[in-house]
A and B are shown apart, each in its own frame.
Chain A
């Protein structure tokens, strides 16, 4: 009997060894295939150098994105990531690596995004994230210049209400558990207006009840309201049947973020994004960029990484980016206006006017710092 018991134990031990071996094999394989951070490099990164060096060595970086926000991040029919936020991942790849396609996308849920950033699973978070003090502080994120200024608005049926102050005693549809709900409460309480919030978990449910007339107003980020409005069915009167009120009652500066504590990587990402705005200010597009390579304007030459000025030298601002990074960004992805028009502009499903997101010279607040 004893002997048999020992045989069982031996069998069990052998099996667990085998299983253990299989387990570690698996993870090794996965690590090899994954290859998104060579072992020694990861350690090195933590100790001294910047993430930037590791990314340049590897030739690819991981961008945390959203895959279900109209216009900003989704998957198209052919399985490619597409959208405004996705294009800014490509901008960073073009600037740092010279190849806009050298991005590994990692779709993230809203709740996981800062954990993923802190744990180093992603290098950049480009997922329509609002820049707030708490996120900058305790969430450990460092936000670059905003790429999109959004704000909360109110949509009503055309002609029913002119402004939010008329809306006392109405019922308002809102997504539950969002800052949108809180902003709504503060706006109405500040004005001393009574209202009844109808909370929904899901945009489609909300849409159905708005159409059926259960609520008088629908509040959300203006970009999302515009998307709904432009697709409003013709049978119900088409987009003209809905009006988005002019008032914006929250500030939502959306932009990419990187993890705290890596200034070199932060600067590289930040200036890659600034380059798209600067290119629009200079009037440089992906179509005409090559005409600017022999421009008379030293600022443009400097920006495109050409020798310019009295000493006839190529400017190296010490950002850790190649001298021609702006050229790569604009020629491969486009300037800010091109990215905007392609994804969210008036000709797309979202149909958003530039508004705040125009250059400071056109009445917006995009103001690129000088490149010198």
Chain B
């Protein structure tokens, strides 16, 4: 009460504003709630949930996406455990407060993801997916704890565990009579493209950023041209060119690569240019004196970059990097424009099905897709903020 008086009604003008905007917010919330719980017919999402998740994936082989999800959960859990433990050590050394993660604090920490899972489970029509999701969650949780117990000297291999898990997931989906990536679709395709994009674009971007600071003119000019060209081109034009022009550019004796590979190439080229600029910002933030000091100690150029410059530079750019990754994840919906079967394309085709045609159901499907993206992106940004605090980014 006192808080309300002090902050909301401390002058006549503020009182009026509070009433007007409060009323507007309440009205909007009421309309939204009636839409979600009363007027919207969610049948279209319920019946098409599998299609939204995995697209045209062979329905007899659905165990493969589940197995891939399990592998991903375990590898992400392990990596998160290792990185988290390392970051906690750093924070302790610097005397920063370390919030102890526990099972009780998990709902507060992961509420967007939990909400997402609850919504998805609410849309399922059988019991099996609920148990499978629970299984995946438990496996992921166990992996986090296991990751925290990994000896400190092995922690820096955390990202290798993640990459191996990602590759393992692809193998499970594809190998031995599975479905090659041309047959992938739905949210699964968006996530695959986003992960593969960042895994491939990061090393390339790092290399280009280092090249831009090289003292060799040829290397530097090539890298500047690369960065400035691809940063100046809209991603969608690169995607469309990759679809239409690769066929003309390749020698006729060579078959053009599959549509997914073409899209991935375009995305990696585009993203790496942006990542290069982010990394360059980090490199410039490292004081020149550090390099000179290392040179005075007789360290080689390579180990200066690896042991002195890059660790500090990369730590400084974590927020920008996560932001870039989130925007990459959202950019994957541009696959819609090149007729790949991503989750946005799926939402478009569902309203053409016999049972749902001409009923204006895009208003139901699109909010669902938006919610999927919001839950994933917001969780990532929350986790990155947590990591930043622990690493003391922005604290001198």
Interface residues, chain A, with chain B CB atoms under 8 Å away: 4-5, 7-9, 11-12, 15, 19, 26-27, 30-31, 33-37, 39, 42-43, 46, 67-71, 73-80, 106-109, 112, 115, 119-121, 202, 204, 207-208, 227-233, 348-350
Q: Is the CB of A12 within 8 A of B353?
A: no
* CB contact between B339 and one of A5, A35, A107 (< 8 Å): that residue: A107
Known: A74-B352, A112-B244, A119-B247. A34 touches B339 (CB 8 A): no
Q: Is the CB of A204 within 8 A of B346?
A: no
CB of B216 within 8 Å of the partner chain: yes
Shortest C-beta distance, B255 to chain A (Å), equals: 4
CB of B261 within 8 Å of the partner chain: yes
What is the CA–CA distance of A7 and B247 in the complex, to the nearest angstrom?
A: 38
What is the CA–CA distance of A67 and B341 in the complex, to the nearest angstrom?
A: 9
* CB contact between A80 and one of B56, B182, B254, B362 (< 8 Å): that residue: B56
What is the CA–CA distance of A70 and B219 in the complex, to the nearest angstrom?
A: 54
Shortest C-beta distance, B316 to chain A (Å), equals: 23
CB of B93 within 8 Å of the partner chain: no
* CB contact between A12 and one of B211, B252, B358 (< 8 Å): that residue: B211
Which of chain B's residues 319-361 have a Cβ closer than 8 Å to chain A? 337-339, 341, 345-346, 348-355, 357-360
Q: Is the CB of A77 within 8 A of B56?
A: no
Q: Which residues of B contact A106 (CB under 8 A)?
A: 339
Beyond A5-B215, A71-B354: 8 further Cβ-contacts under 8 Å?
A: A8-B301, A26-B261, A31-B256, A34-B257, A67-B352, A79-B50, A112-B243, A350-B357
Q: Which 8 A-B pairs have the closest CB atoms?
A: A231-B358, A79-B56, A30-B257, A74-B352, A70-B357, A31-B255, A228-B358, A107-B339
* CB contact between A79 and one of B59, B258, B363 (< 8 Å): that residue: B59
What is the CA–CA distance of A37 and B252 in the complex, to the nearest angstrom?
A: 11
Q: Which residues of B contact A26 (CB under 8 A)?
A: 257, 261
Q: Which residues of A contact B301 (CB under 8 A)?
A: 4, 7-8
What is the CA–CA distance of A230 and B357 in the complex, to the nearest angstrom?
A: 9
CB of B57 within 8 Å of the partner chain: yes
Shortest C-beta distance, A162 to chain B (Å), equals: 24
Q: Is the CB of B302 within 8 A of A11?
A: yes
Known: A34-B182, A109-B337. A77 touches B47 (CB 8 A): yes
Q: Give A26's nearest chain B residue, CB to CB.
A: B261
What is the CA–CA distance of A302 and B207 in the complex, to the nearest angstrom?
A: 69
What is the CA–CA distance of A12 and B214 in the complex, to the nearest angstrom?
A: 11
Q: How many residues of B contact A (CB 8 A)?
A: 54
Q: Give A15's nearest chain B residue, CB to CB.
A: B207
Select the residue from A8, A37, A120 with max chain B CB neighbours within 10 A: A8
Which of chain B's residues 20-56 have a Cβ closer than 8 Å to chain A? 47-48, 50-51, 54-56
Q: Is the CB of B345 within 8 A of A67?
A: yes
Select the residue from B300, B339, B351 with max chain A CB neighbours within 10 A: B339
Q: Is the CB of B354 within 8 A of A34?
A: no
What is the CA–CA distance of A158 and B78 in the complex, to the nearest angstrom?
A: 65
* CB contact between B353 and one of A31, A33, A77 (< 8 Å): that residue: A77
Q: Is the CB of A42 within 8 A of B354?
A: no
Shortest C-beta distance, B117 to chain A (Å), equals: 22
What is the CA–CA distance of A282 and B51 in the complex, to the nearest angstrom?
A: 40
Q: Which residues of A contact B311 (CB under 8 A)?
A: none
Q: Is the CB of B214 within 8 A of A8?
A: yes
What is the CA–CA distance of A252 and B255 in the complex, to the nearest angstrom?
A: 36
Q: Is the CB of B50 within 8 A of A77?
A: yes
CB of B180 within 8 Å of the partner chain: yes
Q: Which residues of A contact B363 (CB under 8 A)?
A: 204
Which of chain B's residues 183-206 have a Cβ closer than 8 Å to chain A? 185, 204
Q: Is the CB of B357 within 8 A of A42?
A: no
Shortest C-beta distance, B291 to chain A (Å), equals: 13
Q: Is the CB of A75 within 8 A of B51?
A: yes
Shortest C-beta distance, A216 to chain B (Å), equals: 19
Q: Which residues of B contact A349 (CB under 8 A)?
A: 354-355, 357-358
Q: Is the CB of A5 within 8 A of B216?
A: yes
Q: Which residues of A contact B59 (CB under 8 A)?
A: 78-79
Shortest C-beta distance, B170 to chain A (Å), equals: 12
Contact sample, A vs B, 25 pairs, CB 8 Å cutoff: A9-B219, A12-B211, A12-B219, A26-B257, A30-B261, A31-B257, A33-B180, A34-B255, A35-B255, A39-B255, A67-B352, A68-B352, A69-B352, A70-B357, A75-B353, A78-B50, A78-B59, A106-B339, A112-B243, A207-B360, A227-B357, A228-B358, A232-B358, A349-B354, A349-B357
Known: A76-B353, A77-B50. A119 touches B56 (CB 8 A): no
Q: Which residues of A contact B355 (CB under 8 A)?
A: 349
Q: Give A121's nearest chain B residue, CB to CB.
A: B247
What is the CA–CA distance of A230 and B258 in the complex, to the nearest angstrom?
A: 40
CB of B248 within 8 Å of the partner chain: yes
Q: Which residues of B contact A208 (CB under 8 A)?
A: 360
What is the CA–CA distance of A106 and B185 in the complex, to the nearest angstrom?
A: 13
Select the residue from A4, A12, A71 with max chain B CB neighbours within 10 A: A12
Q: Is the CB of B354 within 8 A of A119?
A: no
Q: Which residues of B contact A76 (CB under 8 A)?
A: 353
Q: Which residues of B contact A348 (CB under 8 A)?
A: 354
What is the CA–CA distance of A12 and B208 in the complex, to the nearest angstrom?
A: 10
What is the CA–CA distance of A210 and B204 in the complex, to the nearest angstrom?
A: 51
Q: Is the CB of A33 within 8 A of B258?
A: yes
What is the CA–CA distance of A110 and B55 in the complex, to the nearest angstrom?
A: 21
Q: Is the CB of B358 within 8 A of A43?
A: no
Shortest C-beta distance, B245 to chain A (Å), equals: 9
Q: Which residues of A contact B337 (CB under 8 A)?
A: 109
CB of B105 within 8 Å of the partner chain: no
Q: Give A76's nearest chain B residue, CB to CB.
A: B353
* CB contact between A7 and one of B243, B302, B349 (< 8 Å): that residue: B302
Shortest C-beta distance, A37 to chain B (Å), equals: 6
Shortest C-beta distance, B35 to chain A (Å), equals: 14
Q: Is the CB of B252 within 8 A of A46?
A: yes
What is the CA–CA distance of A80 and B358 in the complex, to the nearest angstrom?
A: 20
Known: A39-B253, A119-B244. A67 touches B358 (CB 8 A): no
Select the residue from A11, A46, A79, A204 with max chain B CB neighbours within 10 A: A79
Q: Give A229's nearest chain B residue, CB to CB.
A: B358
Q: Is the CB of B257 within 8 A of A230?
A: no
Q: Which residues of B contact A230 (CB under 8 A)?
A: 358
Which of chain B's residues 206-256 have a Cβ closer than 8 Å to chain A? 207, 211, 214-216, 219, 243-244, 247-248, 252-256
What is the CA–CA distance of A290 and B376 in the complex, to the nearest angstrom?
A: 56
Q: Is the CB of B244 within 8 A of A74?
A: no
What is the CA–CA distance of A74 and B351 in the complex, to the nearest angstrom?
A: 9
Q: Is the CB of B56 within 8 A of A207?
A: no
What is the CA–CA distance of A71 and B354 in the complex, to the nearest angstrom?
A: 7
Shortest C-beta distance, A294 to chain B (Å), equals: 38
